[in-house]
Amino acid sequence: MPFSAMELMICCAARELDDGKTVAVGTGLPCAAAMLAQRTHAPNLVIMFEAGGVAPLLPTMPVSVGDSTTFHKAVLATSMADVMQFCQRGMVDYTFLSGAQIDPFGNLNSTVIGPHDKPKVRLPGSGGANDLASFCWKTLIVMKHDAKKFVEKLDFLTTPGYLTGPGAREAAGLPANTGPHRVITDLCVFDFAPDTKRMRVKSLHPGKTLEQVKAATGFALDACDPLGTTVEPNDEQLRILRTEVDPGKYILGRAG
């Protein structure tokens, strides 16, 4: 089956979620990825929502983190305070985030574009993003790829990635061995080099080139050796996405 950029990103994200692990998600693409993982290779994936739904069996795509479906057949209906406390206790393996800007170390800006006192654009702010990225073991970042988003220096640091490089998270008091794990875009998948903690290209999406990725990135990039090609969605994944996860096309109807 042909597939869209959105479907490819969802399938990439789903593949990162292992069976028996825990993931804190919001609505949209992260929720679609978690639902797809749960219906394919990770039936024992524990999904958590910021509003308090823990381990629901989602019948369909929720419209918000407080939608009643986020508590459907859940093992626990609790509060935001408890879910954030689970993260602080080291009980949450993955979380998903995005932002208006990202820098080479995976730090995110979702606060302002331009000077903080007189911004060109004022954005929603952190919400729970800073908490989740600070305490969940692996952060998965999903965002559209262009040079205005992938910048050398953020206008405002809302959410910590690896801050200024190796050892910086730990020096700031954050737990060791936490931080950004993957960045998934409509062009490629990034990981982070163990020695520098800088983003590097792990795999190119089918039909995309490294030159395209570099042209859409506002900082210098390295690539893994060998550089991989992203695995395409298979027919079963696409069927589940289109008929079970998001038949109303709330997410799939968006441009990649």
Q: What is the 3-state secondary structure (H, E, C) of 29-49?
A: HHHHHHHHHHHCCCCCCEEEE
Q: Which residues pair with residue 122 across a beta bridge?
A: 112
Domain ranges of the chain: 5-245
Q: What is the DSSP string of 119-147?
A: -SEE----TTHHHHHHHSSEEEEE----T
11 near 82, Cβ under 8 Å? no
The verdict on domain 5-245 having CATH code 3.10.20.30 is no
Q: Which of 7, 16, 50, 232 is catalytic?
A: 50
Does residue 40 register a pLDDT over 60? yes
pLDDT for 122-135, tens place per residue?
999 998 999 999 99
DSSP at 251: T
126 near 77, Cβ under 8 Å? no
The residues near 8 (Cβ < 8 Å, ≥ 6 apart) are 186, 205, 230, 232, 233, 256
pLDDT for 159-203, tens place per residue?
999 999 999 999 999 999 999 999 999 999 999 999 999 999 999
Phi then psi dihedrals of residue 124, to 5 deg: -65, -25
Does residue 256 register a pLDDT over 60? no
pLDDT at site 254: 78
Mean pLDDT to the nearest integer, 1-16: 95
For the chain, the average pLDDT equals 96
pLDDT for 66-101, tens place per residue?
899 999 999 999 999 999 999 999 999 999 999 999
Question: Would residue 50 show up in a list of annotated catalytic residues for this protein?
Answer: yes
Does residue 230 register a pLDDT over 80? yes
pLDDT at site 255: 61
Mean pLDDT to the nearest integer, 139-146: 97
